[in-house]
Amino acid sequence: MAAAAVLAATAPAHEVTGRVINIARGEAVAVRRVVERLIALADRPVRLTEHEPLPAPVPTGPGPDARVLRADLEWQQLDISRARRLLGWRPAVDLDTSLADLLTAVRLPEQERTRT
């Protein structure tokens, strides 16, 4: 993500200002897999409790087509085409490395996370 931040900071302002640019692998990943990998990488005892999906639609955004069943939220995929087009960015880090980096960051004391 640091490389993407540098690319965004040095890109022509008129191309990136005010735009959302997703930085991710761009591949569909099961939410269950992410949770399982986080638990494994955390190396701590964690009890995972699952619940049945809610039968009622859950709004996920504006408009009538943005209502989905919670059961449909089993995976996520971000569109990284804007990052490729505007920044020339390509994913270079695998999921496990990204998750391990995330765990390292959240384990740091607050003063180390905000140090510049």
How many Cα atoms within 13 Å fall on the side-chain side of residue 81?
1
What is the pLDDT, as a whole number, of residue 74? Answer: 80
How many other CB atoms are found less than 10 A from the CB of residue 32?
12
State the helix-helix crossing angle for 95-107 and 31-42, rounded to 10 degrees: 50
Return the higher-pLDDT residue of 57 and 14: 14
Q: What is the Cα–Cα distance from 46 to 36, expressed in whole angstroms?
A: 10
* Owner of token pair 């409790």: 49
Percent of the chain with pLDDT over 70: 76
Strands 75-76, 29-30: pairing kind: antiparallel
Position 76 scores a pLDDT of 87
Query: Model confidence at 107, in pLDDT bands (50, 70, 90)?
Result: confident
In which residue are the tokens 């004391």 written? 109
pLDDT of residue 72: 56
Radius of gyration of the chain (CA): 18
pLDDT at position 103 is 92
The letter for the amino acid at 41 is L
